[in-house]
A = this chain, B = another copy of it.
Amino acid sequence: MADKKMVEAIASMEEDFAQWYTDVVKKAELIDYTSVKGCMVIKPAGYAIWELIQQQLDARFKEAGVQNVYLPMFIPESLLQKEKDHVEGFAPEVAWVTHGGLQPLQERLCVRPTSETLFCDFYKNDIHSYRDLPKVYNQWCSVVRWEKETRPFLRSREFLWQEGHTAHATAQEAQERTIQMLNVYADFCEQVLAIPVIKGQKTDKEKFAGAVATYTVEALMHDGKALQSGTSHNFGDGFARAFEIQYADRDNTLKYVHQTSWGMSTRLIGAIIMVHGDNEGLVLPPKVASVQVCIVPIQQKKEGVLEKAYELRDRLKGSFRVKVDDTDKTPGFKFAEAEMRGYPIRMEIGPKDMEAGKCVICRRDTGEKLEVALDQLEEKVGELLETIQKEMLERARAHRDAHTYEARNFDEFQKIFAEKTGFVKAMWCGDQACEDLIKEKMSVTSRCMPFAQEHLSDTCVCCGKPAKKMVYWGKAY
């Protein structure tokens, strides 16, 4: 049968998670590969997820007083080089434009890998007085990083993202904005993507090139690996000093601004796949499903069935995103396709249902089937979508908690990572040498120093010296 064939084409996630992931992105028609190495086409089903992410994240930004702008995609080499740590972090992985039209350029331009330097160059001219502050700007754009190994959504040479860049009069205000935006990200992940996250600070080793402090939201994928899902950086006045961004304060003295930046990207689509997906394919949280209800007519050639399907769609479409699969495929194939694409609800309507004044509704996330009276349809669909959204978050949280471990000494630490993949909480002395050793021995990295600190022991899990912080460790994408 056609439906079987479609499902058999996917690897089992338990047997080969990487292959399963690749199969899902292809079979759910999220992306396609291109002739441009390391770059992908985001197909309609994939881009629709991104549009729903954009809309809902942008609405949260606007509530937080963020204004959107657009800056050039090119950065002159001299501008990229102004902040020392920053250029060291990014120069090895940028694409260089050397010719415009038929002429060589006097100065080569890189395609932005991130836009701190451009925002600084802009702010330098735009900020004069305390009245011009704060600046709380964001742009939606694509960026380029010349990665060697690429994977759809997770790591590609070009990806879509938003990057917020702010400038403030005081260090305190910059710090507050850094945390405010991290909280927006955490709330967005949990409430919209149904992905629970750990909020915390990156160690110095893992922080952003040029930042004083980097904060992160870290999620755990189904295979137990971690995914950094959004970051928020406090730059202090380091960039301001490098770019001479000063303002005249109320007391008429010149002061440096304090800056932040924060970003989330199409990598979130990878997170959705790897947190919620199963062996039938993609499972979309209702809030980012471009089709929330897929109506499959049964015996659609019988009189009145298709008409009934369209009538139900028209009833639902004011409140939900809904489509009728009226193609000439078999119902079995349509079921498998709706499952592969992750539509939260499948609705079946056929002659018998019509006679009984009901339809059959099937949840993608649990497979559960319900009969619903047609006169209660809107209400039941609305309730069910809310339930699905809520339970997907709860299941993801339970999975994460079940894959979060504690280590009190090096032996325990090694034993856990030898046997399991997940988050391991362990105490750390604050010394980068221990981070390096842990990475060397176990191929894991510090994911973050969580805001919710616990005291697991007095000593560093690695060196035994007095511990300063509890850290989440894990294998990361």
Q: Which residues of B sit under 8 angstroms from A405, Cβ to Cβ?
A: none
- Say yes or no for A42: interface residue by CB 8 A criterion: yes
Question: Complex Cα distance A118/B35, Å?
Answer: 9
Binary CB contact string for chain A from 120 to 160 against chain B (1 if under 8 A, 0 otherwise): 01100110000000000100011010100000000001101
Q: Which residues of B sit under 8 angstroms from A111, Cβ to Cβ?
A: 73, 97, 111
Known: A101-B146, A146-B101. A122 touches B70 (CB 8 A): no
Binary CB contact string for chain A from 48 to 69 against chain B (1 if under 8 A, 0 otherwise): 1011000000000000000111
Binary CB contact string for chain A from 25 to 65 against chain B (1 if under 8 A, 0 otherwise): 00000001011100111111001101100000000000000
Asked whether, in the complex, the Cβ of B68 is within 8 Å of the Cβ of A44, the reply is: yes
Question: Complex Cα distance A210/B237, Å?
Answer: 51
Our pick among B44, B71, B109 for the contact of A41 (Cβ within 8 Å) is: B71
Question: Complex Cα distance A70/B39, Å?
Answer: 11
Asked whether, in the complex, the Cβ of A67 is within 8 Å of the Cβ of B96, the reply is: no
Binary CB contact string for chain A from 83 to 95 against chain B (1 if under 8 A, 0 otherwise): 0000000001111
Asked whether, in the complex, the Cβ of B41 is within 8 Å of the Cβ of A67, the reply is: no
Question: Complex Cα distance A357/B351, Å?
Answer: 62
Chain B residue nearest to A33 (CB atoms) is: B125
- Say yes or no for A238: interface residue by CB 8 A criterion: no
Our pick among B32, B48, B99, B121 for the contact of A35 (Cβ within 8 Å) is: B121
Asked whether, in the complex, the Cβ of B68 is within 8 Å of the Cβ of A34, the reply is: no
Q: Which residues of B sit under 8 angstroms from A48, Cβ to Cβ?
A: 67-68
Interface-central residue, A68, A73, A146, by most chain B CB under 10 Å: A73
Question: Complex Cα distance A94/B137, Å?
Answer: 30
Asked whether, in the complex, the Cβ of A122 is within 8 Å of the Cβ of B32, the reply is: yes
Binds B, one of A74-82, A273-281, A458-466: A74-82
Asked whether, in the complex, the Cβ of A34 is within 8 Å of the Cβ of B101, the reply is: no
- Say yes or no for A1: interface residue by CB 8 A criterion: no
Known: A44-B67, A95-B97, A98-B96. A158 touches B36 (CB 8 A): no
Q: Which residues of B sit under 8 angstroms from A144, Cβ to Cβ?
A: 73
Q: Which residues of B sit under 8 angstroms from A125, Cβ to Cβ?
A: 32
Q: Which residues of B sit under 8 angstroms from A34, Cβ to Cβ?
A: 71-72, 118, 121-122
- Say yes or no for A418: interface residue by CB 8 A criterion: no
Asked whether, in the complex, the Cβ of A137 is within 8 Å of the Cβ of B44, the reply is: yes
Asked whether, in the complex, the Cβ of A122 is within 8 Å of the Cβ of B76, the reply is: no
Asked whether, in the complex, the Cβ of B70 is within 8 Å of the Cβ of A126, the reply is: no
Known: A98-B99, A142-B141. A72 touches B32 (CB 8 A): no
- Say yes or no for A318: interface residue by CB 8 A criterion: no
Asked whether, in the complex, the Cβ of A73 is within 8 Å of the Cβ of B32, the reply is: no
- Say yes or no for A102: interface residue by CB 8 A criterion: yes
Question: Complex Cα distance A39/B68, Å?
Answer: 17
Q: Which residues of B sit under 8 angstroms from A51, Cβ to Cβ?
A: 68
Chain B residue nearest to A35 (CB atoms) is: B121
Our pick among B96, B142, B160 for the contact of A99 (Cβ within 8 Å) is: B96
Asked whether, in the complex, the Cβ of B76 is within 8 Å of the Cβ of A35, the reply is: yes
Question: Complex Cα distance A158/B97, Å?
Answer: 14
Q: How far is the CB of A91 from chain B (nearest CB, A)?
A: 8
Q: Which residues of B sit under 8 angstroms from A98, Cβ to Cβ?
A: 96-99
Question: Complex Cα distance A125/B32, Å?
Answer: 9
Known: A98-B99, A101-B92, A102-B92. A142 touches B73 (CB 8 A): yes
Known: A44-B67, A141-B142. A35 touches B97 (CB 8 A): no
- Residue pairs across A and B with Cβ atoms less than 8 A apart, 25 shown, are A32-B126, A34-B71, A34-B121, A35-B79, A36-B72, A36-B109, A36-B118, A39-B73, A40-B72, A41-B70, A41-B72, A42-B71, A43-B69, A44-B67, A44-B69, A47-B67, A73-B73, A73-B111, A74-B95, A92-B102, A93-B101, A95-B99, A95-B100, A98-B98, A141-B142
Given A32-B126, A42-B69, A47-B67, 12 other A-B contacts at CB below 8 A? A34-B72, A36-B75, A40-B72, A47-B70, A48-B67, A72-B158, A73-B73, A74-B158, A95-B101, A96-B99, A101-B146, A111-B111
Query: Chain A: residues with CB nearer than 8 A to chain B?
Result: 32, 34-36, 39-44, 47-48, 50-51, 67-76, 79, 92-102, 109, 111, 118, 121-122, 125-126, 137, 141-142, 144, 146, 157-158, 160
